[in-house]
Structures are given as C-alpha cells and as structure tokens.
Chain A
Amino acid sequence: MKFTALVLKNLLRSKRRTILTVLSIAVSLFIFSALTSLPTVANRVLADTASSVRIACRTKMGQAYPLPEAYKAKIAETPHVVAVTPDNFFGGIYHEVSDQFPNIAVDPERIDVMWPDWGFSPGGIEQFKKLRTACLVADGTMKRFHLNVGQQIQLRGATYYPVNVSLTIVGTIAKGPAPSFLVFRRDYLEEIEGRPGRVDNFWVRADSSQAVPGIIQSVNAKFANSSAETQCDSEAVFIGGVIGRFRMFFTLARILGLIVVVTIGLVAANAAAMSIRERRNEIAVMRSIGFRSPLILRLLIAESVVTALAGCMLGCGAAFALLKIFSVTSDVLGPFVGAMQIPPPALLETFLAAILIGVLSSYVPARSAARRNIVDTLRVVD
C-alpha cells in the first residue's frame, strides 16, 4: 500500500498517454466482452424461451421439406398429447425489404394451450379464433412500425410463398419467441394457396415433461418408413439446433475478440515500453538507493495492470451502459431484454484479459529496465 502513491504518480506522469492507453484498452475490452457474451446470451435466450413440455416435429429430411397436414390428427391421437399446432413460416415482407420480421401461420384452435407463456393481450385469442384474416403481433413489432390493434396490414409473399396476405391486427404478444414477430391463421394461407396441405413444423404439447421422451419416440415411430418421416425434438433441442447453426459465428466472434485484445496488448506494450524507457535513469537511481530489481519489476507491472484495469472498468461500464440504454430504448428486443447483458463469465474473462494485457505488455520492458546495469544506465563511468 505504501507504494500506491508512487504507482499512481508515475501513471499520471504523461496524462495524455495514459488516457489514450486506457481508452484503447477500454475499446478493445468492450468489443471483447460483447463478443464473448454472444454464446452466453444465445444460451440464455434458449433457456428463457424453451418450454419443457413442447415438442417440435419436422421432416427428417430437413427444414426445406414439408410434412403432410394429415399428420396433425395422427399426432393428436398419441397418448399424453394435449395439443397439436402446425405452423408454416410465411416469411412475408412488410413495406420494404428492410422491414422484415418473422411471420408464421398457425392453426388457431389450440394456440393458447400451446403457447400460454406468450402473454397474449386480453380478447386477442378470441378474435384470432373468430376472424380468418386475424393476426397477433409482438409488442416489439407494434412499437417498431407504430401499429395499432384493429389496423389492417399487408404482408407481401417472398421466397417461400408468392402470395400476399391482408391481415387485421386483433391482439398483441408480450413474450413471444422473438422480439419482433407476427402470427396469423394457417387456414387463411391454405385458402390463398389452394389448400396444398403442407406444414413446416408440428408443435406438440405434452401433459407433462416426463411424457416428452415417450411422445417423441411414439411420433417418430408412427411415421417411420413413410415418405415423410418425422424428427421430433424437445423445444430446447429444437431451438438449440437453430442457434447451433451460428456456432461457427460465435467461434469466429471469440477469435475476433482475442485478436482485438492481442492487438491492443501490443499497443499497450509499446506505451509501457516508451514509458519505462523514459524512466531508465530514475529506475537506476531507485535501485542505487536500495530498491531490489523484483520490487521495481512489480511496481512497473502494477502501473500497467492499473492502466489495463481502468480500461477494463471503462470498457465493461460502457458495454453495460450501452446495453442498458439499448434494452430500454429498443423496440425490438421484447423478451430478450433480460438476456442482453454481459454475463458474469464474460465479465470474468474480460477481467482476466485486462490482467493479461497489463502483465504481458509491461513484463519484457520492465524486466529489462529492472535488470539493466545501474552503472551503464547512470552513465557514470569516469
């Protein structure tokens, strides 16, 4: 503690250099913490949205292939199944291409039983069941496009369905599976399409989580060796599979984060080397009055670690503040607001990265200065 003032005074020796070093470390650790948070945020989204009693059934051949509508009744006959809701991903465009958000057609009868956790607005479900062109819209989408209940909107068909749908907003969804989201009736889509009878996924609700494995096995067995075999998974596995497609992106994000940290580590090393080089004479004087080399080394590394930790606090603070502001002001986060935080493991990693930057950036020049010959440094050879 008695050396604290010495360390701090040396840090403030060149305020501009210290501030710039702190800022560069802060920016790099901000990026690092944000990138390392991605997988954790994704996993938290998964944990927050997945239900233990919902099952998703799709074709074994992959998402691009549909299942026959007729499977609905057969799945519903399976013991412990409470509800079956088919869905089709419409993928329509609202106004401009940039105004896209997930829009899905579902059967209306059991929607409230299938997704009671979505937070439907009062009266919305009843209207959805009554009106063929009804749609339910997530709060994020309502705010984003300034929509109102009762308003009519049109979605233009795109890649998947070359048809337009005209919809009436009858209610809202507070906690849907995505922040920006819309569901409308599948019977309406079928009618426009000429009743092809195809389904992308069947959502199945079990009466208990213990029944889920049995239902999955039973449904898969039921359609085995048919022209459209099913692959059923619990909702967590299903969403995990979707998120899993981004694993490579997450890995790349982590690598990018590390590259940024290493790059800034080199910048910090340069700053530390300059600072130490300028003070070689003082370091030699300190050694000549009795400071041991290891103590000098520790003091110099402490300066660098304090700089890096200041950058860490600033970077993490900025990330926290920005995410807070984003989550408060953004209309599109919806239920993911809670997930948009720097998780503690990412904070710990960022803290460790800061310590590493501090130690590694200063170790070589500090060690060199602490061990340099005192006589040579003082240039007192007479």
Chain B
Amino acid sequence: MSKNDAVSLDHVTRAYQRDNFEVRALDDVTLTIPERGFIAIMGPSGSGKTTMLNLITGIDHPTSGRVCVSNEEINRMNENELADWRARHIGLVFQFYNLIPVLTAYENVELPLLLTDLPKNERKRHVEAALEAVGLAERMNHYPRQLSGGQEQRVAIARAVVTDPTIVVADEPTGDLDAKSAEEILTLLSHLNQQFKKTIVMVTHDSRAERFVDAIFRLDKGVFVGAENNLVGGGQQ
C-alpha cells in the first residue's frame, strides 16, 4: 500500500459456510483505491460488491488476506477498536437510508457526533454545515417520514460526512430512488468528492454513475476482473 492509497486489499478472500458448501463471496482480491478518488464498484448480483464494502468498513472480516484503510490494517482490530475507527474514518450511506425514524433530520445527522467530545454548540455548527452542504438546512426539524426518498438519502449523506471521515462508503445510494433523485444524489456525491476532496467508494448497479466516477471496479463471482480507467491500479493475482 502506497502513501497515496486510501484503501488497499491484499489477497483478500471472504468465504461463507452455507450448509455443507463454502461460498467464496470474494476470492483472492488485490486492489488499491487512491485517496480522493470517486470509485464505483459494479458487477452482477452476487459478485461480492457489498462484501467488499463490508470489509473496507470493518463490519465484516476477511477469511484471509489484509485490509488496509488509511494506512491502518483493520483486519487486526477488535470490535471496539473497529467501532472507534469507523467513527473517525468512515461515513456510511445505505441503499434504504437507514435513518432513525424517531429522530429529526438534525438529530440523525448529529448521531455520529455524539461519539465525539465536541460540545453541543460545536455539534450544532457541524450538523448545520452538513445539512447546508446537502441542501436541506430548512428541513432540519423534519422527521424522516416527512421527507421524500431523495431528501432522506441526502440526510443520510450529511450524517456520513458530518464527522469529516477519511472515506465515504455508499451501498447502492441510488437503488431506491427515482431517476431525478438518483441524478441529484450522484451529483451531490461528486460535489463532495471534488469540493471537499472526500474519497468515495460506491457500490452501484446504476449505469448513470459511470458519468460521475473517476474509476469503475468490476467484480464477477467474487473475482476482481479489472478497473476501467488509469487513476487506479490492481487486479486479480
């Protein structure tokens, strides 16, 4: 892993036991993702895209191989260390937004900041800035049920970036949205990448994403089949 790499997977395999069969969701994958890149991971269903995201975020562990994110080998960390590490370095965006329904947009965005030592007024400043960045400053007191799907996803993105993480990881962020909202979300992620220099790793089936990203990593049946563009390096070993 070079100093300019945000993520490095080194001979990573993730196998699951299904009854008497071993299923290899990822099979000996080696790749690197550069800092400040906007990467899409694409491939058919069951190709291991989400498994790769789970390994990068530390919510899953490789069966073998090394996962380094921001120069830290996260596969050696225990659960509590991983939780602390995620709070500092990872911003997560889910397909179905996964906002807490009893909390307002403001409170949802504030949630990761509760894990920091920031005083209340500082938290407020960060939350308002994040909601401003996603264009939802006027909706901060709305509950998720009072927002459209696109707006919910924007709140989720604000929650992901409010702690100023090293990497924003998005799993099918446009998967549950109409075309217009999907376009808006992709534009927003691209803006975050270009304006705020955030490394963004996104799993998607959405072909519109190809216009926004710096590179596309293609997976098939758990194997890394190649990257489309010259920003990134890697390949199946």
List CB contacts (< 8 Å) of B26-45 with chain A. Answer: 45
Interface centre among A9, A290, A374 (most CB of B within 10 A): A290
**Residue numbers in B under 8 Å from A282 (CB-CB):** 98, 100
**Residue numbers in A under 8 Å from B159 (CB-CB):** 289
Q: Report how far A75 CA is from B92 CA in the complex, Å.
A: 92
**Residue numbers in A under 8 Å from B203 (CB-CB):** 382
Q: Is A13 at the interface (CB under 8 A from chain B)?
A: yes
Q: Report how far A293 CA is from B83 CA in the complex, Å.
A: 8
What residue of chain A has the Cβ atom nearest to residue B46's Cβ? A382
**Residue numbers in B under 8 Å from A382 (CB-CB):** 25, 45-51, 203
Instruction: Give the interface size class of chain B.
Output: 35 or more
Q: Is B77 at the interface (CB under 8 A from chain A)?
A: no
**Residue numbers in B under 8 Å from A281 (CB-CB):** 98
Contact among A292, A293, A381 with B50 in the assembled complex (CB-CB below 8 Å):
A381
Q: Report how far A380 CA is from B175 CA in the complex, Å.
A: 13
Contact among A2, A287, A292 with B114 in the assembled complex (CB-CB below 8 Å):
A2
Q: Is A3 at the interface (CB under 8 A from chain B)?
A: yes
**Residue numbers in B under 8 Å from A288 (CB-CB):** 57, 59, 86, 92
Known: A288-B57, A381-B51. A10 touches B102 (CB 8 A): yes
- Check if B102 sits within 8 Å of A13, measured CB to CB: yes
Q: How far does the Cβ of B181 sit from chain A's closest Cβ, in whole Å? A: 21
**Residue numbers in A under 8 Å from B112 (CB-CB):** 289-290
Known: A281-B98, A290-B86. A9 touches B57 (CB 8 A): no
**Residue numbers in B under 8 Å from A374 (CB-CB):** 59-60
- Check if A289 sits within 8 Å of B80, measured CB to CB: no
What residue of chain A has the Cβ atom nearest to residue B53's Cβ? A380
- Check if B25 sits within 8 Å of A381, measured CB to CB: yes
- Check if B84 sits within 8 Å of A292, measured CB to CB: yes
Q: Is B120 at the interface (CB under 8 A from chain A)?
A: yes
Q: Is B115 at the interface (CB under 8 A from chain A)?
A: yes
Q: Report how far A313 CA is from B87 CA in the complex, Å.
A: 38
- Check if B54 sits within 8 Å of A380, measured CB to CB: yes
**A residues whose Cβ falls under 8 Å from a Cβ of B:** 2-3, 5-6, 9-10, 12-13, 281-282, 285-294, 374-375, 378, 380-382
**Sample (27) of A-B pairs whose CB atoms are under 8 Å apart:** A3-B114, A6-B111, A12-B102, A13-B102, A282-B98, A282-B100, A285-B92, A285-B94, A287-B59, A288-B86, A288-B92, A289-B87, A289-B90, A289-B111, A290-B88, A290-B112, A292-B83, A293-B79, A374-B59, A375-B54, A375-B60, A378-B59, A378-B98, A380-B94, A381-B50, A382-B46, A382-B50
**B residues whose Cβ falls under 8 Å from a Cβ of A:** 16, 25, 45-51, 53-54, 57, 59-60, 79-80, 83-84, 86-88, 90, 92, 94, 98, 100-103, 107, 111-112, 114-115, 120, 159, 171, 203
